[in-house]
Every structure is written in C-alpha cells, then in structure tokens.
Structure 1
Amino acid sequence: MYSLILHGRRFSELQKWRNLRFAVNPLQNASYFSNSFSSASGSYVSPKDGQKGKNFTVSDLVDSLGLTTKLAESISRKVKFEGKGNPDSVLSLLRSHGFTDSQISSIITTYPGLLIVDAERSLGPKLQFLQSREGASSSDLTEILSKVPKILGMRWEKAISVYYDFVKEIIKADKSSNFQKLCHSLPEEGSKQENKMRNVLVLRELGVPQKRLLHLLISNYQPVCGKEKFEASLKKVVEMGFDPTTSKFVLALRAVYSLKNETVEERVDFYKRLGFTVGDVWKMFKKNPFFLNFSEKKITQTYETLKKCGLLEDEILSLLKKCPQRFGASEQKIDNAIETFLGLGFSRDEFAMMVKRYPECIGFSAETVKKKYEFLVRKMNWPLKDLVSSPSVFGYSLEKRSVPRCNLIKALMSKRLLGSKLPPLSHVLAITDEAFLNKYVKIHDDKELVAELMAIFTRGHVS
C-alpha cells in the first residue's frame, strides 16, 4: 500500500483496492481486528471538560465573535475560565496577528482550551516563533492555525514546527491536487512523523476529507502512528465497505485499530448470549463502529436500565439493532429521560411506545424535551397522544422547523382556511418542507395569499 504512494503509481490502483469487499461476514473471524493505539510525539495542553465558565464570558463570546448563545455556552462548559488567564487577551492577540473574527470563531469552536492559555507567556511566543521562520507568511499562519488550532497546544518548538509544516504541505497539495510531491519531503525514515505523514497521505488518496486528516495528523489518540498495523487495519475497514468520505470511516479505523482479537471474540459471544446474531453485530458495527468498545458491564447496565422503560427483551433487541449508539447511554441519562416524560404527563406505557418508535427520545436533555412540549402542547394545543404517535417531533429543530410551520398553520386557521381543528401533528411536522408547502401553501390560487404565507414560513419566529 505504501509503495502505491511513495513510488507514484496512479490513483486508479488505490481506487481498485478501495472497492474491495468482504465475501464473508468479517465478525466471524476476529483476526480482522487489531490491537491498541500507538503513541505519538507531541504533548498537548488539554482543558478539563464539563466545567462552567462565567456568564460574562459567554456574553463576550457572543458580542465579540458573533457566536450563537448556544455555541458560546457549549464552549464555556468545556473550559474553566476563572483564574485561568484572560480570554480577552487571547482574542486581542489573535486579532493582532491577522486572524479574522470568522477564523477566531473557528479556532475557539475547535479548541476552546486556547481561551485559557496565558496569552503573553505561552501563546504569544508560539505565534512569534511561527512568524519568524523562513518563508512564513501571515496568510499561511492564519489559514493553517484556523484549520488545526491544536498545534498551538503543543509544548515544544520542534513539534510545533514539524506539524505546522505537515499541515501546510497537505493544504498546498490539496489546492493543487498533487500529493506525489509530498513524498519527497517526508521526515526521516522510520520516525513517528514519517509514519504519520505517510499514513495521512494514503488516507487523503482514498478520499478522507482534509478536515478529518489534519486532526488525525496532530492527535496522539489516533491510528495513524504505526506502519504494518495501520496498513492492515485500513485494509480491513476499506474491505468492510465504509465510505472514506464519511466520519464513520475514521471511527471504524479507530475501532479496528484499537480492539484486540480476543476482545472482539468476547464481545461477539456476549452479544450472542443476549440474543443478537453475528449478522446483527456486524450491522450494528456498520451503524456505530464504536459500539464494540463498550464493556460487558456497560452493555448489561444499558440492557437492564432499558427494561425500566417498560420494554420487553425482544423490544430492547430491536431498539438496539436500530440505534446501537444507545449502548452508550448512561443509567442516569435513561432514568432522567423516564422521569422527564412521566413528569410531563405521559404514562409509562406511552413512554415505552415512544422509545420503540423513536429511540433517540432517551438521549434528549430535560430542557429540550420540556421546551418542545411547552410549545407543541401548551401553546399549539396538540394532545399528548399526537406526540406519542409521532415522537420524532422531539428531534426536530424548534426554531428552524416547528415554529415556522406552526406559525403558518395558525395563520391559516385564523383565516378560516383550515377549519377550527388542528391538523394531525404528523401532517404538519413529520413531512418534508416541499410536502408541507405543497399541502398548505401552494395549494392556494390566490398569489397574494401564497406570498403572505411564504413570508410567515420564512420569517420563522415565535409569534
């Protein structure tokens, strides 16, 4: 595989290899999986997750960078601002080096921890070092660091320099669609950097998008550090039929690379004891490659907790086949979901029905569920039974879907064009935009009315 890149053979050869598929079920043979992740050079300053920042910081992010409140709040939860430097200083420093607000927004969204870095002692010297290097340009600096800001989290100048140059070369090659020339600038043979660069080039040739490649390149916890093991793992993932342009491809590569053969065999046997077939396990892996990483304890806990929802064993199997990501739901999260829905007036049987129809119900926060319940039931006056019949409405965006459509429905009712009774909830929310407009707007012959309805629909705010 490496020779295809290093000796300049045509992409068509990789394409042929990419189109390989298994003739047998890959999970019937645990040898299709490999061991654990390799380590890589470069240390990172990693912020602790789940810690809340001050409200003024959220406001500052919204006011200074134009971030949405939701995004700013998400960032503030991922870093602890208090006593950890001055975020304003970081923002000012980035602007002084030519970063636009759009680029800074991208940087902070990708790497919130940068906001708590000491701007004067840590961040400033790194930016100056990169700018002082021969051939450095302001446009290169801002583009590269906007795409991979975690380079600034590395501690050593050598690591910063090496990975900055790697990213720069890949971006240049992407713009010219010429990856072959990169083969002549690989780091010294046998080094970890050489392995990473070569592996990333192979992934790029296979079609993995740039944005995923660049993060793979600088991360320690990714399967791009080795050689033979990387080659074997990549071959398996391609043969399994994962599309390299999707995020699942990278997830599958991580899973295959990290799992020991014995672990795969044990997990498959355990799933079989629960009632799944080997074919079921393979299909679930295709939907959520990471699900095989869950321990038997975690799987058992999720299985037993789902029984609290009122589901029977065969219903639990059906649910998990459809949404294997639910294996990752904590006991507390499932308990909270049950409590939230029961607290809103749904019976336990109704909740069980909703989970069977739309398993994602388990994953929504209490705030999300209550907010959508208040709008659909309290404000719009749909009965609870409509939500039980169409629980997917809890997954629709309130601002982008539910509110605009409901405003239009209310307008039609006020004009006595729908009668006095609300149409079924599923007829309003559970159809495509095109179907909705055909059903409630374009059906009218009055052009002024159609224009008025379209204005209501596109305005999309709560009236």
Structure 2
Amino acid sequence: MYSSLLLPSKRCIELHKSSTFRVISVKLLQNESPFRNPLSSSASTVQSDSVLNLLTSYGFTATQISRIITTYPRLLTLDAETSLLPKLQSLQSRGASTSDLTEIISKVPKILSKRGAKSTALYFDFIKDIIHNDGKSSHSSTIIGKQGNKMRNVTVLREMGVPQRFLFSLLVSESQPVCGREKFEMSVKKVVEMGFDPATSKFVQALHVFYEMSERTIEEKVSVYNKLGFRVEEVWEMFNKWPYSLKFSEKKITQTFETLKRCGLGDEEVVAVMKKRPECMRASEEKITSCVETFLGIGFSGEEFVSMVKCFPTCVGLSAENVRRKVEFLVGEMGWELKDVVGIPPVLGYSLEKRMVPRCGVVRALVEKGVMMGRESGIPPMSSVLACSDKVFLNRFVMKHGKLVPELMAIFAGDKRKVKGLCVSVS
C-alpha cells in the first residue's frame, strides 16, 4: 500500500512539489491513520506541503520523510510554523547535528508531537543516548516526574535486551506500561517468569497485558475461555503464542467462538483452531462470514473450507480480494487445481508479488523451454514450488540448469520483463 510513497527523485528540495505525494499524504490522514482529519482535502494539502517543506529544509531525505509519514501520518496535521519549527530550532540550537536530527526524528517522529520544545529535547537526548551510547543514559537519572520515570524504566528494558524499535514505541506511547515503578517492576517480573524473550514483540505484548489488567480481570478472562471448552493450561498456551488473546472482552471471545462454529467447525475443532492461531480472534464476525462466502463463491466446498481453517486459521482474516487474486493466479494462470490449495492452505498467506510471481515465473520459463518434467501440465506440485525456502527453491529449479541460471535468477529477482505468460497484476 505504501510503496508509492518511496519517492525516486534524489532532489529532496522538490519533494513538496509532487502532487501525487500530496494526495497520498492526505489519504493517509483521512483513511489510514487512527483518527479522522478535521481539515478539508484542500486545507490538508496546504498544511502537509508546509510540513514537507520544513522537513526538506532541515535536511531530511525523501526516504526519511516517507518513513516519517508512514510511521506517524498525524505529523502532517501539525502546524509547521507554530508547532514543528520551534522544536527543530530548539534542537539545533542545543547542538544537534543535521545527521542526528534527521536520524532520530525519522526513527521516532512522534517526539515532535510532545508538548513544548523542552519536552521534545528531553526525549531527543534520551533516544540519542540509546542509539549511540548502548542505552546508557547520561542524564535520565536526574530527570524527575513522569518523563524521568518512563526513561528509567525504558533503560531497564534496554539492559534486559529489548530492541530499540520496541523501546522507542514504548517511550513515546500514551499507554502506561513504562510508567510508575512498583507496578512496572511487578509486570516485568511476571513477563520474565512466563519465559518471554525480551528480544521479541511478545515480551512487550505480555508487558502490556500484565500492566493494564489486574489479576482478577485476567482470572475472569481465563474463566471465559474455560467455559467454552479450553483447559486452563490451553489458555496460557495461547497467551504464550499471542499475549493479546487475554485482552478481548467476554463478548468478543464468545462471538468469535460461535461464529467459527457456524462456519461448520465443531466445539473441539474451534478450540484447536484458536489454540493453533489465537490471532484469528482479531477477525470480526462480518470478516469471518465474508471469508466463508468468498471461499464458497470461488468454488471450495464447505468441507474444504473447514479443512483449510483447521490447517491455516489465519485464512479467516484474509480479505476477499486477497484470496481471489491468489486463487485466480494459482488456478487460472498456473493451472493448479483448487484441491492443491486445499492441500496446502498456508500458500494463501504467501505474498503474491514477492513469492508467487517470481517463483512461478521461473517454473513457467522452464516449462516453455521444455526442461520441466512433471505432471501432464508440466507444472510440478504446488508444494515443491511455493512451500519451500528460497535456498531449496533455487537448488531445485535454478542452479541445476547451467546456462539458464542467469536468466532464471533475473526472473527470480523480480525482473518483470523476463516473466512471460503471467497475466496477474502486481500493482
């Protein structure tokens, strides 16, 4: 979705003149960000132009600005003159180099939303310490109040091995996991005792759950799952896979369970599906119902859909367009059958552009050159083409073909000019 934001021009000074870029910026504000932009399209464009102008004048590259906008689109609604400029000037006057300024803000643009230049400077210096001094802050211990507390707690997490990208998100977030002292320490202790790896996102997710929910609330959520047929150990097994599984309301948990049953799964099958992929809890009732209609409309039977959900629960969260395009490509363009998809439904989770098209382009080239031996169609089994690692695929279909290797590697690398006979649109 956001690939069109990666601007090819090397002349950053002309960045703000791109009408396409301005339109996409406004659409991000109106449709993609978690709030509704109160400005009209015209006013939003003028305001975003001012922000883009300002960032460009301070030395931000096109890539950095693209990253800022995709990470924090709300920045485009801030007033360039009265909100952003004073903070950038303040940071520069305090000795921030252009390289530090652009690097830190492009990584954590939300610090520019902090109230006042002083607050922004505190966060800027702390983030700089984390990046350049291996997390050993030279000044956070002297800062008092909520900001100092958050910085000290983030330092603790840094020393435990939590990666920078998670630390920065926690630092500037409005949520509470790194606030306070006693509750923070108790939450971290529980997460560690559960065995979560600090280097993973699950550690941070579990920290959110234990910090935001009381022991009584957690017990109530476990009880909800228990009434639906989950054993207590199974509930915690799901939590270890996806900590947010305990954050849903009783209504949402029950609704998802009943919706999956209406899709044709039995009680035990629903339990198995949710245990295997608790993230399917995020799918709404409408999303799951629409998913069923999509699969049946394509030609899968009800039994085949149930079989695919049991093997690949994530498919209930795929969009109708996503499923249709991939099945049309696999069956309509490549000549595999629906039963092949039923046999390995995880293929529906693979990227059409990055995995399916390049690999199938290689296979199609081999078939056209008469060097592919397989079924009557000449196309090898879907699993041998798509369900293996890149290394296995290259050894299986590219490296053994001598003089054809350069051409096949070009196709595999995504040179669309060499992909023949594949009519799918990857735009």
Q: TM-score, normalised by structure 1?
A: 0.79
Partner of residue 187 from structure 1, selected from 137, 140, 143: 143
CA distance in 1, matches of 2:332, 2:309: 22
CA distance in 1, matches of 2:63, 2:409: 31
Is residue 87–residue 116 contact of structure 2 (8 Å, CA) maintained in 1?
no
Partner of residue 239 from structure 2, selected from 254, 274, 285: 285
- Note if 1:213 corresponds to 2:173: no
Q: 1:72-129 CA distances to partner (integer Å, 9 max, x unpaired)? A: 7984532447233432221121010111222212211211111232323332233223
- Note if 1:135 corresponds to 2:89: no
Q: 1:314-338 CA distances to partner (integer Å, 9 max, x unpaired)? A: 1111000011111121101101111
Q: What does residue 23 of structure 1 align with? A: none
Partner of residue 250 from structure 1, selected from 200, 204, 211: 204
Q: What does residue 407 of structure 2 align with? A: 452
Alignment of 1:310-325 (within 5 A): 310-325=264-279
Call closer, same or farther: CA 1:456–1:361 in 2, change over 3 Å.
same
Q: How big is the shift at 1:60?
A: 7.1
Q: TM-score, normalised by structure 2?
A: 0.86
Q: What does residue 40 of structure 1 align with? A: none
CA distance in 1, matches of 2:236, 2:26: 38
Q: 1:367-419 CA distances to partner (integer Å, 9 max, x unpaired)? A: 21111122111111211111111111111111221111111211222222224
Q: Larger RCO: Structure 1 or Structure 2 (Cα < 8 Å, ≥ 6 residues apart)?
A: 1
- Note if 1:437 corresponds to 2:382: no
CA distance in 2, matches of 1:280, 1:74: 42
Q: 1:154-209 CA distances to partner (integer Å, 9 max, x unpaired)? A: 233342233223223333322xx6x27446x5213xx2122112111111100111
Call closer, same or farther: CA 1:441–1:157 in 2, change over 3 Å.
closer
Alignment of 1:162-311 (within 5 A): 162-174=122-134, 179=136, 181-182=138-139, 185-188=141-144, 191-311=145-265
CA distance in 2, matches of 1:300, 1:418: 50
Q: What does residue 92 of structure 1 align with? A: 53
Q: What does residue 427 of structure 1 align with? A: 384
Show structure 2 runs of 5+ residues with no match.
Answer: 10-14, 421-427
Q: How big is the shift at 1:273?
A: 1.5
Q: What does residue 161 of structure 1 align with? A: 121
Q: How big is the shift at 1:441?
A: 2.9
Q: CA RMSD in A?
A: 2.6
Identity, in percent, stands at 55
Amino acid at match of 1:457: F
CA distance in 1, matches of 2:48, 2:5: 9
Q: 1:41-74 CA distances to partner (integer Å, 9 max, x unpaired)? A: xxxxxxxxxxxxxx9x996765667999xx9798
Deviates more, 1:84-93 or 1:403-412: 84-93
Is residue 61–residue 72 contact of structure 1 (8 Å, CA) maintained in 2?
no
Q: What does residue 331 of structure 1 align with? A: 285
Alignment of 1:119-130 (within 5 A): 119-130=80-91
Is residue 350–residue 356 contact of structure 2 (8 Å, CA) maintained in 1?
yes
How many residue pairs are counted as aligned between the two chains?
Answer: 397
Amino acid at match of 1:131: Q
Q: How big is the shift at 1:448?
A: 1.0
Q: What does residue 321 of structure 2 align with? A: 367
CA distance in 1, matches of 2:165, 2:332: 43
